Amino acid sequence: MIRAFTRKFRRESLGRRAKAAYDSALMATTAPGIDDVRARTFPFPSRHFISALDLDRVVLGDLLDLADGFVALNREKSKKLDLLKGRTLMNLFFENSTRTQSSFELAGKRLGADVVNMSPRASSMAKGETLIDTAVTLNAMRPDLLVVRHSSSGAASLLAQKVGCSVINAGDGQHEHPTQALLDALSIRRSLGRVEGLTVAICGDVLHSRVARSNVLMLQILGARVRLVGPATLMPAGVDRWGAEVFHDLRQGISGVDVVMMLRLQLERMTGALVPSTREYFRFYGLDREKLAHAAPGAKVMHPGPMNRGVEIDSDVADDLSISLIQDQVEMGVAVRMAVLASLAARLDND
């Protein structure tokens, strides 16, 4: 009996040792050090990051690899690097934001930049005029990187023409939000091992969503098939030219897909009543377990946040960590923004 116990004890501690060796081998491959991240950093292909179309498939792959390195570093106790040392990052958010603004701030600080947050109040002046005035004033302070969010589509691109620094689009009206698409691609790749060949359904308020636009473009560049699902009133004109299959029935639209990406019902952007009521909307377009059962086995659920629980998504699905990538998306947000900032700064260093 004692001998059997000793054997069992030895087997268990051997198992523990083997596991520790396995874990440390895994750490060595998945947690590149600072030198690896430095070696992976490459100059961004353009001076600004305005649209998903600024990147091709090869560069996207390299950026995601670099971001993987930052994910590993962000899980370490000491997260501070000097890739942006001496650089000034300005966060210019004309629209409210929690996760995007704070993740750019963290990303800049972890890379050693000086970070300034500005949230100018929406002005009653013509938007173009306000924006240009602000841009010229800020430019005189000589920032190196300017992260901008604005309620007008095209604002980031307009600003890029007026300033001498690199501009990153953190959401311009209903147009694009390219770093969101990048963090979504990273979340998918880490969870399902690839993006190419997967089918992703983007569901809900496509009409008002810059997240949808950037994701359709980026996912297609990465070789995924994209479906758009939502009521006809929430589909933009010309959606048939986006290269995505359009569905108006949620169960059909997510049938057999690998990823279900839910969008927030953007009530603040709606000028008329485009949905009868939020209760009615949930009945037809809210994702719950019953509807999710139509997706492929093992399908993952995403949402860029902030979520309207009980409107486009049921808490039961959103909070189930075995299917929901929503928390991962927030973590990946910091890593991809570090990758973009490091890469843009490498380009500035070369200019």
Positions that interact with ligand NCD (CB under 6 A): 99-100, 171, 177, 180, 210-211, 264, 266, 304-305
CB 80 → ligand NCD: shortest distance, Å?
A: 25
Strand order, beta sheet including 259-262: 245-247, 225-229, 199-203, 259-262, 300-302
Residue 37 or 263: the one with the smaller Cβ distance to ligand NCD is 263
- The Cα 301–Cα 322 span in angstroms is 10
Closest CA to 227 of 210, 212, 214, 246: 246
Q: How far is the CB of 343 from ligand NCD (least distance, A)?
A: 20
Cβ at position 171, least distance to ligand NCD in Å: 5
For residue 323, what are its two tokens?
A: 């299917």
Nearer to ligand NCD (CB atom), residue 63 or residue 211: 211
Rounded Cα–Cα distance for residues 266 and 308 (Å)? 9
Shortest distance in whole angstroms from residue 184 CB to ligand NCD: 10
Instruction: In angstroms, give the least distance from the CB of 70 to ligand NCD.
Output: 19
Cβ at position 330, least distance to ligand NCD in Å:
9
Q: Which residues lie below 8 Å from residue 259, measured CB to CB, with a gap of 6+? A: 188, 192, 198, 199, 200, 201, 299, 300, 301, 302
Could you give phi then psi for residue 25, rounded to 5 degrees? -65, -40
Q: Measured from the CB atom, is 308 or 343 closer to ligand NCD?
A: 308
Closer CB to ligand NCD, residue 41 or residue 187?
Answer: 187
Residue nearest ligand NCD (C-beta atom): 264
Residue 341 C-beta: closest distance to ligand NCD, Å: 17
Q: Find, among 188, 225, 233, 181, the residue nearest to 207 by Cα.
A: 233
Q: Which helix (H) or strand (E) holds 283?
A: helix 278-285
Tokens matching residue 7:
């054997």
Residue 327: φ, ψ to 5°? -70, -40
Nearer to ligand NCD, 81 or 211 (CB): 211
Measured from the CB atom, the residue of 13 and 98 that comes closer to ligand NCD is 98
User: By C-beta, is 63 or 212 nearer to ligand NCD?
Assistant: 212
